């Protein structure tokens, strides 16, 4: 089995080890005076310039799972899988408008997480705790999914075993190495590794989109093969174009996913680590290069159809694992050594986001649970230490999810993750623009949005499953006479907003105490060099409100 793939395994292992060494060396890269500070370990000193931010955020948002799952979706369902392209177009103008303000206010007040901001803005530790827990819960399965990406590669190389432990041993080793260098180097490790990861991915994809269509008879033939496959399938909603039923789902999924992506703690960590507002704004013009890459990667799904790739069997008998189609396509079409490079690109591509996600989740725990509820007078060094240990715990948890639970469970959780992280939109994103909402109204909206989102996801059936079968909710369930579907997250967040607004009006009429805003309008435009920018020093809302003189 694995002996047939020896060249691939050697190339993969060598590149993987090279990257691991880089991860450890990263601690000395742009070394700070004092690493024992959460700003240094968890945000790379808030000092990253344009290039580093480009690689870091690109490596962060476009994960290994994306690279494996999007073509798998195209392979299975056709046009509906292409939502990844509008999704990653829409996100950048949104970041340009919204997250730049978060960067400014965070820089001036030393915020590390979105929940820090919410606590200060709405004067509500409870709301901040909810935001932090939502972020951690949404991020955990996302880390686990990165392992699914590596597993698809290992499976194709024949690295499997008879029992669960043998099968998962390579992943456990990979994650142990990742955990060790993230512990030591913090955000600097994924920032440095992202250079290698993204360079490899760009090379592989450029070769793939030139070489594969040439081998497979051109783009016309590739689309014709995909069209023929979907015509023959019994599913009415697949095809190389959308139909009347799934257009609304396509658009709401693209918008909802974009809104969710920039609310994820790991995206915010990447943005907050940049040096100034200009770095972020310039990156919003440069990051779409990755969207182009993703669009081309999505089309690998159709190339796999044209090449006649048959996915490997899944975990349960009779099922197939569509996630293996891209690795199989490379194995079938490329020389062994280049397939090895491609596999390394996917494998390393899993490490960068996994590291950033675990750092982001660890920061949330440290700042909004540990410091808020367990040890209020924690020093910056203690904060950094707790974050480092939490990042280890988070990774162990992710590995345990994959080893002991059905990977399908992680995929379900990730589906839920996108819907629940959207419920932080009113407090985090709208909170950056207005303090009109009452803190209790936001809590009420969050609770209702969560409940509704869960219920809707539970109701979605797929051909193989009764519940949690996807995120396309049939509008007929609401009593509309239509076969159209809509993305669950958009409905849940709309209801969340409506509830938050109604409760706010009611509380205001009843004159319920609203707390004090710890930020000033001016904070949202602060930039590098601003005399009042005090990274890491001003940790307490109350000190900021002390009358001057």
Partner 1 sequence: MAAPEPEAPTTAPTRAKDHSPWNWLLFIPIVVPLIPAFFNGDSPRVFGFPRFYWLQLAFILLGVGTTTLVYQMTKKRGGR
Q: Which residues form the interface with partner 1 (CB under 8 A)?
A: 79, 82, 85-86, 89-90, 92-94, 96-97, 100-101, 218-223, 240-242, 247, 250-251, 254-255, 278, 281-282, 284-285, 288, 291-292, 295, 299, 521-522, 524-525, 527
Three-state SS at 432: helix
Residue 278 vs 540, nearer CB to partner 1: 278
Q: What CA–CA distance (Å, rounded) separates 87 from 469?
A: 21
β-partners of residue 474 are 485
Shortest gap between Cβ of 429 and partner 1 (angstroms)?
13
Shortest gap between Cβ of 398 and partner 1 (angstroms)?
32
Shortest gap between Cβ of 203 and partner 1 (angstroms)?
20
Shortest gap between Cβ of 226 and partner 1 (angstroms)?
10
Which DSSP symbol is given to 78?
Answer: B
Closest CA to 103 of 526, 542, 540, 544: 526
Contact by Cβ (8 Å): 22, 194: no
Residue 530 vs 540, nearer CB to partner 1: 530
Shortest gap between Cβ of 88 and partner 1 (angstroms)?
8
Q: What own/partner pairs with CB < 8 Å and gap ≥ 24 does 164-170 have?
A: 164/403, 164/404, 165/403, 168/399, 168/402, 168/403
Exposed, middle or buried, 546 (CB in 10 Å: 0-12/13-18/19+)? exposed
Shortest gap between Cβ of 161 and partner 1 (angstroms)?
40
Residue 62 vs 250, nearer CB to partner 1: 250
Q: What CA–CA distance (Å, rounded) separates 352 from 65?
A: 12
Q: What CA–CA distance (Å, rounded) separates 167 from 367?
A: 37
Residue 255 vs 342, nearer CB to partner 1: 255
Residue 1 vs 548, nearer CB to partner 1: 548
Q: What CA–CA distance (Å, rounded) separates 421 from 322?
A: 27
Shortest gap between Cβ of 392 and partner 1 (angstroms)?
38
Shortest gap between Cβ of 494 and partner 1 (angstroms)?
15
Residue 132 vs 201, nearer CB to partner 1: 201
Shortest gap between Cβ of 118 and partner 1 (angstroms)?
20
E runs forming strands in 466-540: 472-474, 485-487
Shortest gap between Cβ of 12 and partner 1 (angstroms)?
30
Exposed, middle or buried, 246 (CB in 10 Å: 0-12/13-18/19+)? buried
Phi, psi at residue 313, to the nearest 5°? -60, 150
CA angle 486, 493, 247 (to 5 degrees): 20
User: Which letter, b or e, does each residue of 199-219 get, where b requires 16 or more Cβ atoms within 10 Å of its Cβ?
Assistant: ebbeebbeebbeebbeebeee
Residue 479 vs 547, nearer CB to partner 1: 547
| 417 token code pair | 């993750």
Residue 373 vs 525, nearer CB to partner 1: 525
CA angle 450, 451, 453 (to 5 degrees): 65
Residue 85 vs 389, nearer CB to partner 1: 85
Shortest gap between Cβ of 106 and partner 1 (angstroms)?
15
Q: Which residues contact 29 (CB under 8 A, 6 or more apart)?
A: 185, 188, 192
Residue 98 vs 341, nearer CB to partner 1: 98
Exposed, middle or buried, 377 (CB in 10 Å: 0-12/13-18/19+)? exposed
Residue 34 vs 522, nearer CB to partner 1: 522
Q: What separation in angstroms does the CA of 492 have from each of 87, 115, 265, 489? A: 18, 21, 20, 5
Shortest gap between Cβ of 449 and partner 1 (angstroms)?
21
Residue 305 vs 399, nearer CB to partner 1: 305
Helix (H) or strand (E) holding 106: helix 84-109
């Amino acid at each position: 089995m694995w002996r047939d793939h020896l060249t691939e395994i050697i190339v993969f292992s060598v590149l993987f080890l090279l990257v691991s060494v880089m991860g450890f060396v990263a601690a000395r890269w742009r070394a700070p005076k004092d690493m024992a500070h959460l700003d240094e370990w968890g945000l790379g000193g808030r000092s990253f310039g344009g290039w580093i931010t480009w690689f870091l955020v690109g490596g962060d948002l476009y994960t290994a799972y994306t690279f494996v799952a999007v073509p798998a979706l195209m392979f299975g369902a056709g046009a509906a899988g292409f939502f990844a392209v509008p999704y990653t177009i829409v996100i950048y103008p949104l970041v340009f408008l919204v997250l730049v303000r978060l960067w400014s206010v965070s820089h001036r007040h030393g915020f590390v997480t979105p929940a820090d901001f919410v606590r200060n803005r709405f004067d509500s530790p409870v709301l901040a705790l909810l935001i932090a827990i939502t972020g951690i819960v949404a991020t955990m399965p996302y880390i686990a999914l990165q392992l699914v990406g590596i597993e698809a590669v290992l499976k194709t190389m024949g690295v499997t075993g008879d029992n669960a432990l043998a099968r998962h041993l390579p992943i456990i080793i990979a994650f142990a190495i990742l955990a060790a260098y993230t512990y030591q180097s913090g955000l600097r490790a994924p920032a440095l590794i992202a250079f290698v990861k993204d360079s490899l991915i760009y090379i592989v994809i450029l070769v793939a989109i030139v070489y594969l269509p040439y081998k497979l008879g051109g783009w016309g033939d590739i689309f014709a093969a995909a069209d023929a496959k979907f015509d023959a399938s019994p599913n009415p909603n697949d095809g190389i174009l959308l139909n009347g039923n799934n257009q609304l789902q396509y658009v709401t999924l693209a918008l909802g996913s974009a809104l969710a992506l920039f609310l994820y703690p790991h995206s915010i960590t990447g943005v907050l680590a940049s040096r100034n507002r200009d770095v972020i704004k310039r990156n919003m013009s440069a990051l779409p290069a990755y969207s182009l890459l993703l669009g081309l990667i999505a089309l690998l799904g159709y190339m796999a159809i044209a090449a006649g790739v048959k996915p490997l069997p899944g975990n349960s008998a009779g099922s197939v694992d569509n996630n293996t189609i891209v690795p199989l396509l490379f194995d079938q079409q490329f020389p062994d050594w280049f397939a090895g490079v491609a596999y390394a690109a996917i494998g390393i591509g899993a490490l960068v986001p996994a590291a950033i996600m675990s750092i982001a989740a660890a920061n949330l725990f440290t700042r909004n649970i540990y410091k808020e509820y367990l040890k209020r007078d924690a020093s910056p060094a203690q904060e950094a230490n707790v974050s480092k240990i939490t990042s280890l715990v988070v990774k162990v948890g992710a590995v345990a999810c994959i080893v002991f639970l059905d990977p399908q469970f992680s995929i379900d959780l990730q589906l839920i993750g996108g819907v629940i992280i959207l419920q932080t939109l009113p407090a985090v994103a709208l909170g950056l623009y207005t303090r009109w909402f009452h803190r209790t109204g936001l809590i009420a909206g969050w609770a209702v949005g969560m409940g509704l989102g869960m219920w809707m996801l539970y109701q979605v059936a797929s051909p193989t499953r009764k519940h949690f079968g996807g995120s396309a909710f049939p509008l007929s369930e609401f009593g509309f006479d239509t076969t159209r579907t809509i993305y669950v997250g958009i409905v849940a967040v709309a209801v969340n907003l409506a509830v938050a607004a109604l409760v706010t009006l009611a509380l205001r009429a009843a004159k319920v105490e609203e707390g004090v805003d710890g930020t000033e309008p001016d904070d949202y435009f602060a930039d590098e060099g601003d005399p009042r920018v005090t990274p890491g020093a001003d940790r307490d809302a109350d000190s900021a409100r002390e009358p001057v003189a």
